[in-house]
Amino acid sequence: MVMTPDEYAVHGQNCPVCRSPLIEGERVDVDGTTAWGKVACNACKSTWTDVFDLVGYDELIVAGTPCAANVKQQ
């Protein structure tokens, strides 16, 4: 049974068709806060497009100093 898009979002390290971990992605394109990239399964030869939405950032460095994301700059 093929995974739904919601199931794939949780188990995205495997093919949504055969569930093999033998998947390879191509380059990722970005437009605004959304990104996407073609993916192929080396086991069953299925292809699909992964879609990503920006949810925030991590490891911000301001003026060469690590800064926690929740600390306000003065």
Rounded-to-integer distance, Cα 32 and Cα 9, Å: 20
Between CA 22 and CA 45 the distance in angstroms is 10
Q: Where are the beta strands (DSSP E) in the chain?
A: 23-31, 34-41, 47-53, 61-62, 65-66
Q: What residue ranges do the domains of the chain occupy?
A: 5-66
For 26-73, how does the pLDDT look when each residue is reduced to its tens digit (9 = 90+)? 999 999 999 999 999 999 999 999 999 999 999 888 886 666 655 555
pLDDT band for position 25 (50/70/90)?
A: very high
pLDDT, position 23: 96
What pLDDT score was predicted for residue 28? 96
pLDDT of residue 60: 86
Does residue 16 contact residue 23 with C-beta atoms inside 8 Å? no
End-to-end CA, the chain: 54
Average pLDDT over residues 1-28: 94
Q: Which helix (H) or strand (E) holds 7?
A: helix 5-10
